Amino acid sequence: MIDVHELTKRYGDRLAVDDLTFRCEPGTVTGFLGPNGAGKSTTLRMLCGLGSPTAGAALVCGVPYRELPHPGRRVGVLLDASAQHGGRTGREVLSLSAAVLRLDAGRVDDLLDEVGLADSAGRRVRSYSLGMRQRLGIAHALLGDPEVLILDEPANGLDPEGIWWMRRLVRSHADRGGTVLLSSHLLGEVDRVADRLVIVARGRIVAQGTRNELGPDDLEALFLRVTA
Ligand SMILES: Nc1ncnc2c1ncn2[C@@H]1O[C@H](COP(=O)(O)OP(=O)(O)OP(=O)(O)O)[C@@H](O)[C@H]1O
C-alpha cells in the first residue's frame, strides 16, 4: 500500500510538488505520468525517504519509509540505475545488499538469472550498458522479495525483449497481491500494464483514475490534453 496525502515539496521559491493526494492499493499497478519537471521523481524520492516533505505525508506500508524496520524486505526501489558503484561487479552489488538483508546467497544467483545478467555477473558495473545497469537495478529492487515496488523509468535502456519482460514482471507482481507505482514517459507501455493512472503537471494532479474513468481518449491524447 502507498498513501500520498496532501504531499508538498518546495525548493526555495519553487513548488516542485503541490498538494498531491493518491493511493496505490495492493494488487494494482499505478502508472505515474507527467511531463519533464512535473514532480514525479521528487514524489518518488520522498516515498523512498530520500527527501523530506515540506508538508503532507508519503507513506509506504502505512508509515514513512524511514520508519520501516526492514525497508528492503517491504519496498523495492529503482530510482537511478546508474547509482551503483562502477568498480563493483554485478554479483558484488547484489551480494552486499543480500548480506544486509540476511538473504541466502542462492537468491543472488536466481535473480542474476532472472534479469538476464548471469553471464555478466563477474564484470564491473562501469562496463555495463545502460540496459544492463537497468537490469541490475531491477534485480536489486526485487532482492528482498518486497510487497511494494517503486520504479522510476524502469524500461529506460531496455531492449524490446527486456521491455516485454519488465511488463510481465510488473503485472505478475501486482497479480500476486503486490503494489506497484511506476513512473514512465512510455505512454503505450504504461497503458498496457497499469490499472490506474495518476497524471501530474507543474506539481499538481491533473487527472487520476482507471482508464475507463478517464474517458475514451487514447492515452497520448488524454495526456496532452490534461497536461497542456
Ligand atoms: N534538488 C532540487 N533543487 C531544486 N529544484 C529541484 C530539485 N529537484 C527537482 N527540482 C525541481 O523540481 C521540479 C520537479 O522535478 P522532478 O525531477 O521531480 O520532475 P520529474 O517529473 O521527475 O521530471 P522528469 O520527467 O524530467 O524526470 C522541477 O522544476 C525541478 O527543477
Minimal-distance CA residue to ligand 1 atom 14: 39
* Whole-prediction pTM: 0.94
**Band of pLDDT at residue 216, cut at 50, 70 and 90:** confident
Please list the residues that pair with 57 across neighbouring strands.
5
Say what the pLDDT of residue 124 is: 95
pLDDT tens, position by position, 120-145:
999 999 999 999 999 999 999 999 99
Phi, psi of 203, deg, nearest 5:
85, -5
If you average pLDDT over every residue of the chain, what do you get?
94
Mutation choice for ligand 1 from 14, 48, 52, 190, CB with most ligand atoms inside 8 A: 14
H-helix segments, the chain: 40-47, 71-74, 90-100, 106-114, 130-142, 160-175, 187-193, 219-227
Count of alpha carbons within 13 Å of 60, Cβ hemisphere only?
29
In short, whether 42's Cβ falls inside 6 Å of ligand 1 is yes
On the question of pLDDT at 80 being above 90, the answer is: no
In short, whether 37's Cβ falls inside 6 Å of ligand 1 is yes
Minimal-distance CA residue to ligand 1 atom 12: 16
**Beta carbons of 120 and 128 less than 8 angstroms apart:** yes
Residue 89 is classified by DSSP as B
H helix and E strand count, the chain: 8, 9
In short, whether 107's Cβ falls inside 6 Å of ligand 1 is no
Phi, psi of 183, deg, nearest 5:
-100, 135
Joined together, the cell numbers standing for residue 117 give 545478467
**Beta carbons of 115 and 91 less than 8 angstroms apart:** no
Find the 145 Cα to ligand 1 centroid distance in Å.
Answer: 30
Joined together, the cell numbers standing for residue 21 give 493526494
On the question of pLDDT at 82 being above 80, the answer is: no
Which residue matches cell numbers 561487479?
Answer: 89
On the question of pLDDT at 6 being above 90, the answer is: yes
Give residue 183's identity as a one-letter amino acid code.
S
**Band of pLDDT at residue 45, cut at 50, 70 and 90:** very high
Find the 202 Cα to ligand 1 centroid distance in Å.
Answer: 10
- Shortest CA distance to 199 belongs to which of 26, 19, 39? 39
pLDDT tens, position by position, 187-202:
999 999 999 999 999 9
Atom of ligand 1 lying closest to residue 45 CA: 18
Residue range 3-9: average pLDDT? 98
ipTM, 2 decimals? 0.97
